[in-house]
Amino acid sequence: MSFEVESERREFVRIKTSIPVRYKFLSRSLDLGVEEVYEGTTNDLSGSGLLLAGKVPSPSWIPALLMGKILIGANLILPSCDVPLKVLARVAWAESMEEGNDRCALGLKFQDVAKEVQDEILKYVIKVQMTKSR
């Protein structure tokens, strides 16, 4: 059995900045049994995804998250916007969790994002880049 390693292909520049994120786990094929909205943060944002640090209700969800059976609906709270920006994302990777800790890092790739929302994210990324390069 052979596995092809996917080379890292960045479509967009990413920035290091702390942004609050409210998120919810969604699935059409699984009964998750939770409707809770969680609070997390991202310290890594681009026009195509983000790094989410937050709670995962159960470590047993990780395989379904990685297979795309569970998606994440997220609201990004950018300082430059009056309203939260809504995105639907799939989990591209998950960092290992420490035993007894329900928080982990999830690499999210945007799956469904409105053009206007992506434009707002890109404007914010460019603005942060420009202020950091001065």
Is 23 part of any domain? yes
Q: In which domain, by residue range, is 123 found?
A: 17-132
Percent of residues, the chain, with pLDDT higher than 90: 62
Distance CA 96, CA 102 (A): 11
Predicted confidence at residue 11, as pLDDT, reads 66
Is 11 part of any domain? no
Q: pLDDT digits over 99-127, tens only?
A: 777 788 999 999 999 999 999 999 999 89
Q: For tokens 């998606």, what's the residue?
A: 71
Distance CA 11, CA 21 (A): 22
CATH no. for residue 72?
A: 2.40.10.220
Is 8 part of any domain? no
Q: pLDDT digits over 82-99, tens only?
A: 999 999 999 999 987 677
| pTM (2 d.p.) | 0.85
Distance CA 117, CA 109 (A): 14
Distance CA 23, CA 95 (A): 18
Asked whether 12 and 125 are in contact (CB, 8 A), the reply is yes
